[in-house]
């Protein structure tokens, strides 16, 4: 019986200008769940990437099953029974679920891939652990939650006895997240050990056996759920007390800024996703769009911001009809957009922070004139965004790909807040962000409102909507089922509407 | 030089050295002396004014061809159409060069260059426009357009624009007028200077202009480019037009500065070498200059090497292929150099494959 499944001993990892891990030691025993907590950029992803063989540590040791190992790469870690689910899934979208799961470890019969055998094992695994998924579905047709199951199955198929999950619940609906937590609990009963990164303290308290808190690359605390509280953990993470509630005055709505009339929008597969939505957002108010993910929120936001064509209906901003206008025209009318998928739309990973800080403004003065970019001005601008929004980076000239997930998000939010906007469309604005920064961003959203901006907030976090929104619009199956004032929008009532129950 | 520039030239440099080393082994296996062979190669490419002129002349269309591939690559497009773009540029520049007379040089020469450039812009632009509107893959379209251009220029130079002087039976145009001929300053052809200026111009456009920002954004992340308000389709189409212009200028300089006319078959294959150059330059417009000079030198010195050291000139092709192999397979070079891979210096010329 192994005593230690996986451990880091005094691990140090240096990136240019950043000491991402500084003398970090953690331990994982069989059947236990280790939660890693910490601010954005604290070094959590770096640590698990070191444990998974993606990065080579500059100092310290990695121990797998009581043995000091020198990992040559992820393959090496996988063959030693470590499985990892990255925040960005590593799946082949046009291939089937079963093919994805066995890829690289295919069972063969007379030199050919034996898909029937593979399918049997996949079905067996998925029923055993409550990870039901159709083995013959194409991965590209699956919602995010299902894709994540495929990732977990991929690791289990390779007989992983350690599972590392980097912010697995960030992309899930609350229901999916709860289910995932139950699955993980179930896995530990078979002796699997789990390393789990999250920014949601509730989840940590619900599921972890051990909690390790990192700050600026160092371990600043080790505790267990029965000795910890949410506010205590929050304080340990950011080094100060955090106000978890948003302070705000009652809204003073002004003129209608965003007017949406009977809008119909198709999704990527050409199916009707937004089915005749009409909505108004006034200056000085925050309208929250609640709904289980996949009920048309994405398509609605994309149609409003110009990323997607609406098949019918109308949309106007500040009284100006802008239905199916370009992203550029819409932005030019004072619209800021925090996109839902930051890697897909929000940043260009290979670009510097400076270039990203003007991604949708590069063509305007003072960032450029007569077709020539003004680099000094852009650098100064980036510098001020980085300072104001506390983006942790050694400089604004490094590539955005070197930022931690939450710091990328802060950069995008900072960019969109860096000029006067009439309408802010914020989709999952705090996804992947630590609670200290969430507090800050929430305050800034309210501040925008008080300065007279109209805010359309889309979030999978019901708590976020309930604490920020002045009115709550609920989307179900592409239709707006109701719009409630904040004082009557209780968790229960909104929850029922989200499930499509209207009476 | 900063550390990152150093790292980015390390792989091509190592590839060149490895290519030459293996070439040396091949020379030995032929019973010849690599020292003699390589020194006569350098002699033949740099030894005197004539040699230098030859090298610079050879390098000129290679710079343009390399830029045509590198520029398109910045937008994530793989331009295989350099050959066709070069041919149309060459024939249309020649047509204006011989077809008009009585103009002063400062009008005639630019006019001929512009005619070639426009033809290339259209040729590249067709592929770009098809990509933007229908999603037709630029690799397929540019390859097909190469055939069209080959046949079109053959026909033009054999029929309407044929040189009918004496009893010429070759498919070629008449000689261009003096007023459309690109001069040579000492050992330096003006076409070469034009190529260098163009390379610097490409670099400035890509790195310093808003248009370059748009091109690179589309190449890096089309979705984010769309989010940023960039017209993705238009950017792809115009990038291909620019790429076509660049390759065509190479052809125009060949007609107006080297051959003095367009002749079918003379420039065959030249357009494809742009891919080699762009790879060696790692798609950096400034890197295209040394890459083209290196290959130009080898081609200029090959015959002297054959003469002096008795090494077949095809060896140069083998060495070029080896260099290309090592550049395209940087894993091998890194392994030899014991370099750790940093993601910033990765170049995937295949990035455009498969995604529409
Ligand atoms: N590839 C890299 N190159 C350079 N610096 C990096 C790289 N990866 C991470 N860093 C830096 O190391 C630090 C730790 O990053 P890491 O991704 O581990 O943070 P994290 O705790 O996972 O944060 P988050 O909660 O935002 O995901 C950050 O300051 C980041 O900028
Ligand atoms: Mg992280």
Q: pLDDT, tens digit, for every residue of A146-193? A: 899 999 999 999 989 999 999 998 878 788 888 999 999 999 999 999
pLDDT at residue number B351: 37
Q: What is the mean predicted confidence (pLDDT) over B18-36?
A: 90
Q: A59-64 and B184-185: which strand pairing?
A: unpaired
Q: What is the mean predicted confidence (pLDDT) over B7-15?
A: 81
Average pLDDT, chain A: 92
User: SS3 of B234, please?
Assistant: helix
Q: Which residues contact B262 (CB under 8 A, 6 or more apart)?
A: B90, B91, B93, B94, B95, B153, B157, B161, B172, B173, B255
Q: Which of A173-182, A418-427, B78-87 has the lowest mean pLDDT?
A: A173-182
- In angstroms, rounded to a whole number, what is the distance separating the alpha carbons of residues B105 and B179? 4
Span A383-398, pLDDT tens digits: 999 999 999 999 999 9
Strands (E), B119-210: 184-185, 188-189
Q: Is the pLDDT of residue A216 over 70?
A: yes
User: SS3 of B186, please?
Assistant: coil
pLDDT at residue number B354: 33
Q: Are A279 and A335 a contacting pair, CB within 8 Å?
A: no
- Which of A38, A417, A340 is closest to A217 using CA atoms? A38
- In angstroms, rounded to a whole number, what is the distance separating the alpha carbons of residues B114 and B116? 5
Q: What is the mean predicted confidence (pLDDT) over A215-238?
A: 92
Q: Minimal Cα distance from A326: which residue of B? A: B229
pLDDT at residue number A1: 62
Q: Which of A137-141, A420-424, A428-432, B6-10 has the lowest mean pLDDT?
A: B6-10
DSSP state of B255: I
Q: For the residues of A195-236, what is the DSSP string, one character each?
A: EEE-S-HHHHHHH-SEEEEEETTEEEEEE-GGG--HHHHHHH
By the 10 Å C-beta count (0-12 exposed, 13-18 middle, 19+ buried), A104 is classed as exposed
CB A15 near ligand 1, within 6 Å: yes
Q: How confident is the model at residue B2 (pLDDT cuts 50, 70, 90)?
A: low
- In angstroms, rounded to a whole number, what is the distance separating the alpha carbons of residues A343 and A338? 12
User: SS3 of A338, please?
Assistant: strand
pLDDT at residue number B314: 84
The CA-CA-CA angle for residues A224, A226, A230, to 5°, reads 85
Q: What is the mean predicted confidence (pLDDT) over B104-126?
A: 96
Q: Are A97 and A134 a contacting pair, CB within 8 Å?
A: yes
- Across the interface, whether the CB atoms of A360 and B211 are under 8 A apart is answered no
By the 10 Å C-beta count (0-12 exposed, 13-18 middle, 19+ buried), A502 is classed as exposed
B/e letters for B58-81, b = 16+ CB within 10 Å, e = fewer, are bbbbbbbbbbbbbbbbbbbbbbbb
Kindly provide the ipTM of the predicted complex, given to two decimals.
0.90
Q: Is the pLDDT of residue B280 over 70?
A: yes
DSSP state of A285: -
pLDDT at residue number B345: 39
Partner-chain residue, chosen from A326, A351, A368, that has the shortest CB–CB distance to B229: A326
- Across the interface, whether the CB atoms of A363 and B343 are under 8 A apart is answered no
- Which of B82, B91, B93 is closest to B151 using CA atoms? B91
Span A273-285, pLDDT tens digits: 999 999 999 999 9
Instruction: Tell me the C-alpha to C-alpha distance, in Å, between residue A329 and each of A304, A332, B168, B244, B265.
Output: 12, 5, 60, 31, 50
Q: What is the mean predicted confidence (pLDDT) over A39-66?
A: 94
CB A393 near ligand 1, within 6 Å: yes
Q: How confident is the model at residue A245 (pLDDT cuts 50, 70, 90)?
A: confident
Q: What is the mean predicted confidence (pLDDT) over A194-209?
A: 93
Spell out the domains of chain B, with CATH numbers in brackets. Answer: 59-304 (1.10.3470)
Q: Are A30 and A5 a contacting pair, CB within 8 Å?
A: yes
What is the number of other CB atoms lying within 10 angstroms of the CB of residue B15? 23
Span A58-111, pLDDT tens digits: 999 999 999 999 998 899 999 999 999 987 788 898 899 999 998 888 888 888
Tokens of A157: 């198929």
Q: A423-427 and A335-338: which strand pairing?
A: parallel
Q: Which helix (H) or strand (E) holds B36?
A: helix B34-46
- In angstroms, rounded to a whole number, what is the distance separating the alpha carbons of residues A384 and A354? 10
Q: Is the pLDDT of residue B339 over 70?
A: no
Q: What is the mean predicted confidence (pLDDT) over A350-367?
A: 95
Q: For the residues of A348-361, what is the DSSP string, one character each?
A: -TTSBHHHHTTTTT
Q: What is the mean predicted confidence (pLDDT) over A341-366?
A: 94
Strand partners, A423: A335, A454
pLDDT at residue number B346: 43
Q: Is the pLDDT of residue B344 over 60?
A: no
pLDDT at residue number A360: 94
- Across the interface, whether the CB atoms of A349 and B223 are under 8 A apart is answered no
Q: Is the pLDDT of residue B343 over 50?
A: no
CB A402 near ligand 1, within 6 Å: yes
Give chain A positions within 8 Å (CB) of B224. Answer: 344-348, 359
- In angstroms, rounded to a whole number, what is the distance separating the alpha carbons of residues A61 and A51? 10
Residue with tokens 């230098």: B52
Q: Are A39 and A237 a contacting pair, CB within 8 Å?
A: yes
Which residue's C-alpha comes closest to atom 22 of ligand 1? A45
Tokens of A381: 């601008």
Which residue's C-alpha comes closest to atom 19 of ligand 1? A41
Q: Could you give phi then psi for residue A374, rounded to 5 degrees?
A: -105, 100
pLDDT at residue number A242: 79
Give chain A positions within 8 Å (CB) of B220. Answer: 348-351
Give chain B positions within 8 Å (CB) of A345. Answer: 223-224, 226-227
Spell out the domains of chain A, with CATH numbers in brackets. Answer: 6-238 (3.40.50.300), 256-334+420-498 (3.40.50.300)
Q: What is the pTM of this model?
A: 0.90
Partner-chain residue, chosen from B210, B211, B224, that has the shortest CB–CB distance to A347: B224
- Across the interface, whether the CB atoms of B228 and A362 are under 8 A apart is answered yes
Give chain A positions within 8 Å (CB) of B231. Answer: 326
- In angstroms, rounded to a whole number, what is the distance separating the alpha carbons of residues B280 and B259? 27
- In angstroms, rounded to a whole number, what is the distance separating the alpha carbons of residues B278 and B291? 8
- Which of A103, A449, A325 is closest to A317 using CA atoms? A325
Q: What is the mean predicted confidence (pLDDT) over A465-494?
A: 92
pLDDT at residue number B338: 62
- Ligand 1 centroid to Cα of residue A45, in Å, is 7
Span A438-453, pLDDT tens digits: 988 999 999 999 999 9
- Across the interface, whether the CB atoms of A348 and B217 are under 8 A apart is answered yes
Task: Using a pLDDT cut of 90, give the percent of chain A over it.
Answer: 71
Q: Is the pLDDT of residue B348 over 60?
A: no
The reply to whether B234 touches chain A by the CB within 8 Å rule is: no
Task: Using a pLDDT cut of 90, give the percent of chain B over it.
Answer: 64
Q: Best mutation site among B218, B219, B221, B355 for testing chain A: the one with the most A CBs within 10 Å?
A: B221
pLDDT at residue number B349: 41
- Ligand 1 centroid to Cα of residue A350, in Å, is 15
Q: How confident is the model at residue B342 (pLDDT cuts 50, 70, 90)?
A: very low
Tokens of A437: 């920064």
- In angstroms, rounded to a whole number, what is the distance separating the alpha carbons of residues B301 and B304? 5
Span A303-338, pLDDT tens digits: 999 999 999 999 999 999 999 999 999 999 999 999
């Amino acid at each position: 019986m192994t005593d230690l499944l996986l451990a880091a001993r005094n691990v140090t990892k240096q990136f240019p200008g950043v000491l991402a891990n500084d003398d970090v030691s953690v331990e994982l025993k069989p059947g236990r769940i280790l939660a890693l907590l910490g601010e954005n950029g604290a070094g959590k992803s770096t640590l698990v990437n070191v444990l998974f063989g993606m990065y080579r540590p500059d100092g310290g040791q990695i121990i797998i099953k009581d043995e000091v190992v020198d990992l040559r790469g992820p393959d090496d870690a996988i063959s030693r029974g470590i499985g990892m689910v990255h925040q960005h899934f590593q799946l082949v979208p046009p291939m089937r679920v079963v093919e994805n799961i066995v890829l690289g470890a295919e069972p063969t019969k007379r030199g050919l891939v034996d898909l029937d055998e593979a399918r049997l094992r996949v079905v067996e695994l998925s029923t055993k652990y409550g990870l039901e998924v159709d083995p013959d579905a194409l991965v590209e047709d699956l919602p995010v939650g299902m894709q994540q199951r495929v990732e977990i199955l991929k690791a289990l198929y390779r007989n992983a006895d350690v599972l590392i999950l980097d912010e697995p619940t960030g992309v899930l609906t609350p229901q999916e997240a709860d289910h995932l937590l139950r699955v993980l609990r179930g896995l530990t009963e078979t002796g699997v050990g789990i390393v789990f990164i999250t920014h949601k303290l509730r989840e940590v308290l619900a599921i972890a056996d051990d909690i390790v808190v990192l700050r600026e690359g160092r371990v600043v605390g080790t505790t267990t759920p029965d000795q910890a509280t949410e506010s205590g953990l929050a304080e340990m993470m950011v080094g100060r007390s955090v106000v978890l509630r948003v302070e705000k005055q009652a809204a003073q709505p002004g003129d209608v800024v965003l007017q949406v009339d009977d809008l119909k929008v198709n999704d990527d597969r050409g199916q009707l996703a937004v089915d005749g939505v009409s909505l108004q957002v006034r200056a000085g108010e925050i309208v929250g769009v609640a709904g289980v993910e996949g009920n048309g929120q994405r398509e609605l936001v994309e149609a409003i911001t110009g990323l997607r064509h609406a098949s019918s209906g109308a949309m106007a901003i500040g009284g100006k009809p802008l239905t199916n206008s370009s992203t550029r025209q819409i932005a030019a009318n004072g619209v800021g957009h925090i996109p839902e998928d930051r890697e897909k739309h929000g940043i260009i990973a290979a670009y510097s922070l400076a270039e990203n800080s003007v991604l949708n403004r590069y063509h305007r003065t003072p960032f450029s004139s007569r077709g020539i970019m003004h680099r000094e001005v852009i650098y100064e601008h980036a510098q001020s965004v980085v300072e104001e929004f506390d983006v942790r980076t050694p400089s604004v000239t490094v590539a955005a790909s070197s930022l931690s997930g939450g710091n990328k998000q802060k950069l995008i939010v900072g960019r969109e807040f860096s000029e006067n906007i009439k309408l802010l469309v914020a989709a999952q604005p705090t996804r992947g962000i630590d609670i200290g920064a969430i507090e800050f961003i929430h305050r800034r959203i309210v501040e925008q409102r008080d300065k007279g901006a109209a805010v359309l907030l889309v979030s999978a976090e019901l708590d976020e909507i309930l604490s920020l929104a002045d009115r709550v619009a609920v989307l179900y199956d592409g239709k707006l089922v109701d719009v409630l004032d904040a004082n009557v929008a209780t968790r229960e009532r909104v929850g029922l509407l989200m499930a499509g129950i209207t009476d | 030089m900063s550390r990152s520039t150093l790292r980015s030239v390390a792989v091509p440099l190592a590839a060149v050295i490895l290519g030459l080393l293996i070439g040396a082994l091949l020379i030995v296996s032929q019973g010849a002396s690599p020292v003699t062979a390589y020194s006569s190669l350098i002699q033949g490419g740099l030894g005197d004014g004539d040699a230098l002129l030859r090298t610079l002349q050879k390098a000129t269309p290679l710079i343009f061809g390399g830029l045509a591939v590198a520029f398109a690559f910045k937008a994530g497009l793989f331009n295989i159409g350099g050959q066709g773009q070069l041919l149309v540029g060459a024939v249309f520049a020649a047509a204006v060069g011989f077809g008009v007379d009585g103009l002063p040089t400062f009008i005639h020469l630019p006019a001929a260059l512009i005619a070639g450039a426009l033809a290339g812009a259209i040729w590249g632009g067709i592929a770009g426009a098809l990509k933007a509107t229908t999603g037709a893959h630029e690799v397929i379209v540019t390859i097909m357009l190469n055939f069209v251009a080959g046949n079109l220029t053959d026909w033009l130079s054999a029929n309407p624009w044929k040189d009918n002087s004496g009893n010429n039976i070759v498919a070629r145009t008449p000689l261009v007028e003096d007023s459309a001929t690109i001069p040579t300053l000492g050992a330096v052809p003006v076409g070469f200077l034009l190529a260098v200026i163009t390379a610097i111009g490409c670099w400035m456009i890509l790195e310093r202009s808003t248009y370059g920002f748009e091109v690179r954004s589309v190449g890096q992340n089309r979705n984010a480019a769309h989010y940023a308000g960039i017209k993705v389709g238009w950017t792809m189409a115009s990038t291909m037009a620019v790429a076509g212009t660049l390759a065509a200028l190479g052809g125009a300089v060949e007609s107006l500065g080297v051959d003095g006319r367009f002749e079918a078959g003379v420039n065959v294959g030249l357009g494809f070498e742009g891919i080699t150059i762009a790879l060696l330059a790692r798609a950096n417009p400034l890197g295209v200059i040394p890459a083209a000079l290196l290959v130009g030198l080898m081609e200029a010195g090959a015959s002297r090497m054959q003469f002096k050291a008795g090494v077949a000139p095809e060896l140069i092709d083998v060495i070029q292929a080896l260099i290309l192999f090592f550049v395209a397979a940087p894993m091998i070079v890194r392994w030899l150099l014991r370099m750790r891979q940093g993601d910033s210096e990765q170049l995937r010329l295949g990035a455009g494959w498969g995604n529409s």
